[in-house]
Amino acid sequence: ETGVTQSPTHLIKTRGQQVTLRCSSQSGHNTVSWYQQALGQGPQFIFQYYREEENGRGNFPPRFSGLQFPNYSSELNVNALELDDSALYLCASSSGQGNYNEQFFGPGTRLTVL
């Protein structure tokens, strides 16, 4: 059974640029959630995708957008990068969109915005 994978591992961008982060869900999982973790804080929910549709969104601006593909992998896109976007971005997968499903996390992508 393959776990959740994310790419790239690290990324450095400058303010105003755009970035795309990728996530492959664990085998058998059809739901992907994205979280942002600032230094010294707990992860915060960005959005969730279930069967290629956005299934919920946290308190993040529209310049954070996403996609889910038919194989359930997902992308997180961030436009017009700001310094405060520097963080660890975590992807989690689960089987089903409901509230009772255990979520499993990938290793994360560490984004630095200069």
**Tokens 């973790």 appear where?**
37
Nearer to other proteins, 84 or 102 (CB): 102
Q: How many CB atoms lie within 10 A of CB 67?
A: 15
DSSP string, 33-64: EEEEE-TTS--EEEEEEETTEEEEE-S--TTE
Q: How many CB atoms lie within 10 A of CB 5?
A: 15
Q: Between residue 77 and residue 106, which ones bind other proteins under the rule CB under 8 A?
A: 88, 90, 92, 94, 97-106
Q: Between residue 32 and residue 51, which ones bind other proteins under the rule CB under 8 A?
A: 33, 35, 37, 41-45, 48
CB of 113 to other proteins, least distance (A): 17
Beta bridge partners of 53: 50
Our finding on whether 108 is near other proteins (CB under 8 A) is: yes
Residues that bind other proteins (CB under 8 A): 31, 33, 35, 37, 41-45, 48, 55-56, 58, 88, 90, 92, 94, 97-108, 110
